[in-house]
Amino acid sequence: MKAELDKYKKGELSLYGIIENAGKSSDKKGTEEALDIMLEFTEAANQQILAKKNELLIPLIKQKNEILSAIDRSYRNTIYANATLTAFLESARKVKESQSEALSIVGFGGLDNTITHKLVELSEFIDSAIKKSNTIDVKSDTAEKQIEEIINKVKEFTNRT
């Protein structure tokens, strides 16, 4: 448009001049020429607009595709991790069933549950012993007796188990 304006200002044939002449005269040929020039201008403008649109959209489309690919990879990784975890848990379940079955065959049915229960009890007992030992006044005369008491209780409990 700037080049056409410069031509018009210099008095050369330009879009502005053709449109101005068509507006001043009622000549059909001048009107058709102005219409043709406007159509050419519109096509050229549309091509430039389309080129600019593509210039701006292509990076956005590329970035969108990269993001969608990253999401897809993450989704596939999540599915793979889920399948692996499910397989691991299924394997652990089968091992547990096999252990229980083997213990039942040799006459120790339920022993695994008993051991687990005793370990939980021992853990709770040790936790309470630690808490009690933290409250003992190390400077007192009874501290040694309390420590020996706790040690004896631990020994007694582990011997029972």
Q: What is the pLDDT of residues 101-116, one digit of tens each?
A: 887 787 777 777 777 7
pLDDT at 66 over 90: yes
- pTM of structure: 0.43
pLDDT greater at residue 29 or residue 59: 59
HSE at residue 35, side-chain half, CA atoms within 13 A, is: 6
* pLDDT surpasses 70 at 44: yes
Query: Considering the chain, what percentage of its residues have pLDDT values greater than 70?
Result: 89
Query: Residue 138 pLDDT > 60, yes or no?
Result: no
Q: How confident is the model at residue 139 (pLDDT cuts 50, 70, 90)?
A: low
Q: What is the pLDDT of residue 14?
A: 78
The percent of the chain in helix, strand and coil, each rounded to the nearest 5, is 85, 0, 15
Single-letter code of the amino acid located at 87 = A
| 143 and 136 Cβ atoms separated by less than 8 Å | yes
Q: Rounded to the nearest 5°, which phi and psi values hold at 12?
A: -85, 165
